[in-house]
A and B are shown apart, each in its own frame.
Chain A
């Protein structure tokens, strides 16, 4: 605000807005501070009244890393989320391009069928997935955890919307220049929808990183657990060892916050880009 426009009333309003935002911000962030404070406390200190540990210690973090299979769970989640994201990016962008730019009989009907699967909640599918996995021996395998997420109907819808925005003239020009259909897709269409594809990748990754219901059902042994399932079951067994539960939570939360700190602009813009259209 320029000095010329400054009025006393206005200044107070701005100060009030900042104060309210800061108060809200403290409330929003408080659980994280609480988590860290407990994670860094020695066991005897967690039931004492002071907020911040007098002698911060990394013992809890070390215990979680060494005495549980936390590193394994982390690696499981990372691997599953990466493979799923790559698969979704590949299939959904191709399918989106197909639906947006290629003409073939039944195009609309097939697209509508895919779109209608969006209305089916995951919760309804876990039972058929489970019986199918049991029949095919997929229970407690990485494939079993991943297969439902390898392509997403929402992703196809999103990519089709954005691919439709790729100008036909551009594709025709490239066609005349002798580019193959696959070349049109990789060299013309894909670069133009990069922001949407990036958003799709980020949300697919986050969704799989956080997925809980299906992994909880399909995983049976400790070493196959994903991070959310591992933390839930570990915490359930840890009873009142809150210093260990909070240390495990912190280990799960901090890497995500680190990534968010780097990518926050893309992530938030991705919400706007995809959320308002979805």
Chain B
């Protein structure tokens, strides 16, 4: 047992120390440069763009997938037959290989030959090249990510809804509460832990967005004028295409700090007792 422990723990601990110390510089000679890397990325407009975009992805994507997922979960609660079928159907994108799905979506967004382009083409309208238009590309990518995580949200919400004891509804109905008030005063507050979990999970997904973005704007990673650039894509291009490992590592430290703050925030939110 102790043997498994040491070989489990050692890599984890090394990874931790290495990652915390490697931000100086990696190259042929590796002088210690203090916070120079951080200053450099702070002066790089693309890094700030990546941060702004990442926040935008999360700000658009999370509410969208929560609202759609919640709506679909409520609809599924309203029907009896085929519930399992629809649940599985909505879940399919979540298990679909991401890279392949991203390429399918890129092809769907083709302005002339994609389904939208064809539909509008028949009535003589043209659709902009969504992934090539700086103001739209980010939303086009977000739509794909929402599609991917919708089924996951549905399953999480369904489980949350099922965990609410029926007796609460029955008691409230006896007291004369109607549909909306039941929803407002029982469903929503009791679903709070599910909501917090979904938001935190979603935030971490969007903070680490990379595969979808790289594959949907493959020839031009980061999209037109960097409009789809994310923090992780920035790390990848800095570190592994331009070999600026120092700056890349500095960017990951920033990402780490943000994720840690969010995780700690989740802990304090979830450990707060829910008052009924």
Bound-state Cα–Cα, A49 to B239, Å: 43
Contact indicator B100/A117 (Cβ below 8 Å): no
**A-B pairs with beta carbons under 8 Å apart, 16 shown:** A34-B107, A110-B9, A121-B252, A123-B210, A124-B252, A130-B240, A131-B22, A132-B18, A210-B99, A217-B240, A232-B215, A248-B100, A253-B100, A264-B91, A275-B197, A276-B194
Looking at the complex, which one of A120, A131, A271 makes contact with B156 (CB distance below 8 Å)?
Answer: A271
Interface size, B (range): 35 or more
Question: From residue B253, how far is it (CB to closest CB) to chain A in Å?
Answer: 7
A147-188, CB < 8 A from B = 151, 153, 156, 181
Q: Which residue of A lies closest to B193 (CB)?
A: A276
CB distance from B125 to the nearest CB of A (A): 15
Partner of B4 from A95, A242, A257 at Cβ < 8 Å: A95
Q: Which of B90-141 contact A (CB under 8 A)?
A: 90-93, 95-101, 103-105, 107-108, 110, 112-113, 115, 118, 121-122
Which of A13, A25, A38, A242 contacts B89, CB < 8 Å?
A: A25
Segment of B43-51, B144-152, B164-172, B184-192 in the binding face: B144-152
A251–B152 Cα distance when bound, in Å, is 24
Contact with B along A37-74 (1 / 0, CB 8 A): 01000000011010100000000000000000000000
- The answer, among A30, A153, A253, for a CB contact under 8 Å with B96, is A253
CA gap between A132 and B11 in the complex, in Å: 12
Contact status of A1 and B80, CB under 8 A, knowing A119-B260, A131-B26: yes
Number of interface residues of A (CB under 8 A): 84
B107 in contact with A38 (CB, 8 Å): yes
Q: Which residues of B contact A120 (CB under 8 A)?
A: 15-16, 19, 256
Q: What 7 new A-B contacts, CB under 8 Å, besides A275-B197, A275-B201?
A: A21-B75, A21-B86, A24-B90, A34-B115, A246-B103, A246-B107, A276-B159
Q: What are the 4 A-B residue pairs with the smallest beta carbon separation, nearest first?
A: A249-B100, A124-B252, A128-B18, A228-B99
For B22, the closest partner residue in chain A by CB is A128
Which residue of chain A has the shortest Cβ distance to B113 in the bound complex? A47
Which residues of the other chain, B, contact A231 by a CB distance below 8 angstroms?
97, 99-100, 103
CB distance A28 to B79 under 8 Å?
no
Contact with B along A206-248 (1 / 0, CB 8 A): 1001101100110000000001110110011000001001101
Task: Tell yes or no: B32 within 8 A of A by CB.
Answer: no
Report yes or no: B98 in contact with A123, Cβ–Cβ below 8 A. no
Tell whether B174 is near chain A: CB-to-CB under 8 Å. no
Q: Is A143 an interface residue (CB 8 A)?
A: no
A246 to B106, CA, bound (A): 11
Provide the main secondary structure of the chain A interface: helix
Rounded to whole angstroms, the CA-CA distance of A217 and B201 in the bound complex is 26
Interface string of B231-259 (1 = CB under 8 A from A): 01001100110000100110011011001
CB atoms of A260 and B80 under 8 A apart: no
In the complex formed, the residue of B with least CB distance to A264 is B88
Across-interface contacts of A91 in B (CB, < 8 A): 4, 8
Please name all residues of chain A whose beta carbon is closer than 8 Å to the beta carbon of B33 when the two chains form the complex. Answer: none
Find out whether the CB atom of B12 lies under 8 angstroms from the CB atom of A114: yes
Determine whether the beta carbon of A260 is less than 8 Å from that of B108. no
List of A residues within 8 angstroms of B255 by Cβ? 121, 123-124
With a cutoff of 8 Å between Cβ atoms, the chain A residues found around residue B155 in the complex are: 268, 271-272, 275
Known interface pairs A94-B4, A127-B252, A275-B156; A34-B104 also in contact (CB < 8 Å): yes
Q: Which of B19, B72, B105, B260 contacts A24 (CB 8 A)?
A: B72
B residues within 8 A CB of A29? 89, 92
Interface residue? A9 (CB, 8 A): no
Q: Which residues of B contact A268 (CB under 8 A)?
A: 87-88, 91, 155
Q: Which of A46, A98, A127, A130 is the one whose CB lies under 8 Å from B113?
A: A46
Complex CA distance for A272 and B263, rounded to whole angstroms: 20
Any A CB within 8 A of the CB of B1: yes
Decide if B5 is an interface residue (CB 8 Å cutoff). yes
A260 surroundings in chain B (CB, below 8 A): 88, 91-92, 95
CB contacts (< 8 Å) of B78 on chain A: these are 13-14, 17
Contact B156 A114 (CB under 8 A): no
| Interchain nearest-CB distance for B264 vs A (Å) | 8
- A121 near B18 with CB under 8 A, answer no
Complex contacts, A35 vs chain B, CB 8 Å: 100, 104, 107
